[in-house]
């Protein structure tokens, strides 16, 4: 049963990043504008999209899981601090605080994944890296 919990856990924690990356591709200009509100240069958006899509997919399939988990943990912390710790004018301060805590909670989950590996139902396990 644990092997299925590992797999489902990986899917659940990473799916939000794959979906967010796809959303940023489909709404590229709006995302650049949102980043600008927080003082983040739009030229970083391709890096953000790559991190979300590739990192999320690697976690889901369990390939280079520890590296991807560490990258997404760092990404979650940085994104939470840059996008939610200091709300822009007109933002819902309570909601931004919740979003910051969600980012930090996801970082915590990724750190567990980094520490423990992908589990038996993964490509890492096939090649002895789980």
Q: Give this prediction's pTM.
A: 0.92
Residue ranges in the chain whose pLDDT is less than 50: none
CA distance 61 to 28: 26
Q: What is the pLDDT of residues 78-101, one digit of tens each?
A: 999 999 998 778 888 899 999 999
Q: Which residues contact 98 (CB under 8 A, 6 or more apart)?
A: none
pLDDT of residue 130: 58
Three-state DSSP class for 99?
helix
- Residue 100 token pair: 């910051």
pLDDT of residue 86: 84
Q: Which long-range contacts (CB under 8 A, 24 or more apart) does 51-56 make?
A: 51/17, 51/21, 51/75, 52/17, 52/18, 52/20, 52/21, 52/24, 53/17, 53/18, 53/21, 53/22, 55/14, 55/17, 56/14, 56/15, 56/16, 56/17, 56/18, 56/21
pLDDT of residue 87: 76
Residues 8, 10, 12: CA angle, nearest 5 degrees: 65
């Amino acid at each position: 049963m644990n092997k299925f919990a590992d797999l489902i856990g990986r899917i659940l924690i990473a799916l939000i990043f794959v979906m967010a990356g796809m959303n940023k591709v489909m709404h590229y200009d709006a995302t650049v504008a949102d980043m600008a509100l927080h003082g983040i240069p739009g030229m970083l958006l391709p890096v953000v999209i790559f991190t979300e899509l590739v990192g999320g997919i690697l976690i889901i399939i369990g390939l280079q899981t520890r590296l991807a988990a560490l990258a997404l943990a760092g990404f979650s912390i940085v994104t939470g601090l840059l996008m939610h710790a200091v709300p822009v004018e007109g933002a819902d301060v309570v909601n931004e605080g919740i979003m910051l805590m969600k980012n930090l909670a996801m970082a915590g989950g990724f750190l567990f994944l980094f520490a423990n590996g992908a589990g038996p139902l993964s490509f890492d396990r096939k090649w002895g890296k789980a």
